[in-house]
Amino acid sequence: MNLQKRNEEMRAFFALRIDGYDAVHEEFLPTKNVLTEAMPQDAHRILDIGAGTGLELFALFARFPHAEVTAVDICTEMLSRLAERPFAARVKCVCGDFFTTDLGTGYDAVISTSALHHFAPKDKLLLYRRILDALHPGGVFLNSDYIALSSQEEADRFAAYRDNDGSIPHIDTPLTPEHEHRLLIAAGFSNVTAEPTTRRNYLLFNAIKP
């Protein structure tokens, strides 16, 4: 899987679907809101990786009205919608991919939802190390995301993506929970846990920077 190609696919896919994005993803709000429910009480500076239109931030700002959020997304159209939200004044929007954009440092928490199941394990390991570097010691990484329910499903998804001739516009490539756990540990996180959400194939990963 070529990372640059995958990033461009994601940017183009979501840019074309911006008008229907919120309607599709509103049914995923419970999997987004768990990020806020698991957030440490003293969190203030927060980085949102793959923020999209910011649906997960409604619950976050309801609990943390004075939070400062940096929202990173590769799709300009998504961030333009986020900039229209009532909490936009407390959000710094950064357009770019997760692998080369300056993410900043010193965050209390990094959050992500429905965004990171598009990348190969070697690329995820690189990203998780970048996220670790963005946190202050004791900071938390909360990722609510789509997972493969078996190693066979994981392999089949990557095979389908590899063999796609372009006739299928979008193929997800989730990893198993065990694979995600290994990558987070390899990246340097500790106390890695995975909690169920309202969806059988979504988990909330919680990882701490030592």
Domain span holding position 141: 3-208
Question: How many domains does one find in the chain?
Answer: 1
Taking all residues of the chain, what is their mean pLDDT, rounded to a whole number? 96
Structure tokens at 132: 């670790």
Q: For 41-67, what is each residue's pLDDT tens digit?
A: 999 999 999 999 999 999 999 999 999
State how beta strands 202-208 and 135-146 pair: antiparallel
Residue 1 has pLDDT above 90, yes or no: no
Q: For 151-204, what is each residue's pLDDT tens digit?
A: 999 999 999 999 999 899 899 999 999 999 999 999 999 999 999 999 999 999
State how beta strands 190-196 and 202-208 pair: antiparallel
**CATH assignment of the domain containing 116:** 3.40.50.150
Element (H, E) at 110: strand 107-113
Residues 6 or more apart whose CB falls under 8 angstroms from that of 99 comprise 3, 7, 123, 126, 127, 130
Backbone angles phi, psi at 185, to 5 degrees: -65, -45
> What percent of the chain has pLDDT above 70?
100
**C-alpha closest to that of 13 among 57, 52, 58, 54:** 52
